[in-house]
Structure 1
Amino acid sequence: MPDLTGQVALVTGASTGIGRHLVEGLAARGMAVAGLARTEDRLRTAMAEVADATGARTLAVAADVTDRASVEEAVGVVREELGPIALLVNNAGLIDEFEVPVWEADPDQWWNVVSSHVRGSLLTVRTVVPWMVLRNRGRVVNIASGMSTRANPDYSAYSVAKTGLMRLTESLATALEGSDVRAFDVAPGVVDTPMTRSMHMWQGYTDWTPPEQVVEIVAAIAAGELDQWSGRFVRAGKDDLDVLRSTSPQDAARQLRLRPYGDADPLG
């Protein structure tokens, strides 16, 4: 288990679900962890529980990740209270409320889902990453999904959001080449959370991904053990961490690409 003592992490969507597991797992590895979420009371309770359980320093900062001023103020508080942010985990995001084909979706609710993932991550990246670049040190983890890479007829907004987030990760990683700031897509698998249980596609499902496996991958990224996977997609519960550590992906492996229809494909 990597020792991350002295580093600062910022996790969005930190009050429940995967975000809550990440806060506790990173704190247990020695990080000072700031959590962002919209519901202040629940967030403060969660962060206090983590501090009591781990002895680590935590900070609860209520913020709406889709609001620019809110994000900028929150990040300023984190930097002032805890210090430079070494790890940013973009975990916050909504799911489609109405599980219907895209032409039946409520446009406003649909766009809110997309915005929560894409605009939310963009705003944290543009607020946190410049300071990482100045220090020439930092890691960004965007929480991806299997639906980043395949369509789903009932979760079109979530699928579009997660696919867009993957492209944002790749753009970020490409722009950061040559520095010691890296960006990664981490799909958590099917973790038993309130959001997952609200999705009809997982009703009756029992083969849950242990949340500790998500924490282990993110902690390895924070420790610089998976730097060769920057700009790539990894999946908790399927990818073996030792294999990831020893493997360097080639070409466009684990990235979004068009498949050519054959050797004569002009876009091949």
Structure 2
Amino acid sequence: MGKLTGKITVVTGAGQGIGRGIAEKLAAEGATVVVTDINETTAKETADRIGGGAIGVRTDVTSRESVAAMVGQVHRQFGRIDVLVNNAGWDKAGPFVESDPDDWDRVVRINLYGVLNTCRAVLPIMAEQGSGSVVNIASDAGRVGSSGEAVYSAAKGGVIAFTKSIAREMARSQVNANAVCPGPADTALFASIGGDNPKLREALTKAIPFRRLAQPSDLANVVAFLASDEADYVTGQTVSVSGGLTMS
């Protein structure tokens, strides 16, 4: 039996990249995974791939109505929600002084409001159950800043502070909340913000003590622990998974 056997688990942005890696790991540990993504095709493909009763549901985390519909469907179908992993994210890299305010809105809506929307829908269910675990995928950009990602860093810093606050509020209901902060990861999002530039990739790799970018599985292993009963007494924590690029 896996450490997550029987747990009904919602993972946002799980159609590709880190989210897909998390969904695969949680399913391998026995969870029934609800794969949500704004791209319904990739959500359903991931669900079919991981099996274990997984379902794919199109969800736009920036829309409270879309989130409410997904959470309502999951609660009706399974009767409970044990784990929420907020992974959906987006960024557009570039100097802040040259940035487009429309992009600020999109970055904040997806990375910060997306977390607020899902937590607002799921936390009352967990409180009523008297159990549950929230794992928010933040970023080391939110802890130490990142050149070319100022608004993204601000949004992810907000996720970290929000996670600590809900950890305090929800503790009386035996619900824990923690944040996982990836460093540079070998994903499509990283490639889209310049990671496909060989010089940037090489420079970053040299800066990481372990001399490699994170793989989705590196993040997924930490998420699986925090989502499990083994981490019942861990709440309000921020864990960097960066190969030593940042240390605190």
TM-score, normalised relative to structure 2:
0.88
Q: Could you list the per-position Cα deviations for residues 75-106 of structure 1 after superposition, in whole angstroms to 9, with x for gaps in the alignment? A: 1111222331100000001112xx33222110
Do residues 27 (structure 1) and 21 (structure 2) align?
A: no
- Alignment RMSD: 1.8
Do residues 209 (structure 1) and 214 (structure 2) align?
A: yes
Deviation for aligned residue 1:191: 2.4
Q: Which structure is larger by alpha-carbon Rg, 1 or 2?
A: 1
Q: What corresponds to 1:127 in structure 2? A: 121
Q: What corresponds to 1:47 in structure 2? A: 47
Deviation for aligned residue 1:238: 4.6
CA distance in 2, matches of 1:3, 1:155: 36
Q: Which has the higher helix share?
A: 2
> Residue type of the partner of 1:80?
R
Q: What corresponds to 1:243 in structure 2? A: none
Q: Could you list the per-position Cα deviations for residues 29-58 of structure 1 after superposition, in whole angstroms to 9, with x for gaps in the alignment? A: 11100011111112211211111xxxx111
CA distance in 1, matches of 2:184, 2:146: 15
Given the alignment, which residue of 159, 164, 171 partners 2:158? 164
104 and 94 in structure 1: CA distance in 2 versus 1, 3 angstrom threshold: same
Deviation for aligned residue 1:211: 2.6
Given the alignment, which residue of 65, 73, 92 partners 2:69? 73
Q: Could you list the per-position Cα deviations for residues 96-120 of structure 1 after superposition, in whole angstroms to 9, with x for gaps in the alignment? A: 2xx3322211001121111101110
Q: What corresponds to 2:15 in structure 1? A: 15
CA distance in 2, matches of 1:93, 1:211: 14
Deviation for aligned residue 1:235: 1.9
Deviation for aligned residue 1:24: 0.7
> Residue type of the partner of 1:175?
E
Contact kept in structure 1, 2:11 and 2:85, CA below 8 Å = yes
Percent identity over paired residues: 36
Contact kept in structure 1, 2:138 and 2:159, CA below 8 Å = yes
191 and 151 in structure 1: CA distance in 2 versus 1, 3 angstrom threshold: closer
Where does the alignment leave 5 or more consecutive residues of structure 2 unmatched? 206-211
CA distance in 1, matches of 2:79, 2:181: 28
Contact kept in structure 1, 2:180 and 2:240, CA below 8 Å = yes
Contact kept in structure 2, 1:10 and 1:89, CA below 8 Å = yes
Where does the alignment leave 5 or more consecutive residues of structure 1 unmatched? 240-253, 255-268
Do residues 180 (structure 1) and 165 (structure 2) align?
A: no
Higher mean displacement: 206-215 or 58-67: 206-215
Contact kept in structure 1, 2:2 and 2:30, CA below 8 Å = no
CA distance in 2, matches of 1:91, 1:144: 8
Contact kept in structure 2, 1:111 and 1:157, CA below 8 Å = no
Q: What corresponds to 1:142 in structure 2? A: 136
> Residue type of the partner of 1:71?
V
> Residue type of the partner of 1:125?
C
Q: Could you list the per-position Cα deviations for residues 219-246 of structure 1 after superposition, in whole angstroms to 9, with x for gaps in the alignment? A: 111223234431111123558xxxxxxx
User: 1:176 aligns to what SS in structure 2?
Assistant: helix
2 and 221 in structure 1: CA distance in 2 versus 1, 3 angstrom threshold: farther
Deviation for aligned residue 1:2: 4.4
Greater relative CO (CA pairs within 8 A, separation 6+): 2
Deviation for aligned residue 1:74: 0.7
Contact kept in structure 2, 1:90 and 1:143, CA below 8 Å = yes
Q: Could you list the per-position Cα deviations for residues 191-240 of structure 1 after superposition, in whole angstroms to 9, with x for gaps in the alignment? A: 2111112232653355022332322211111223234431111123558x
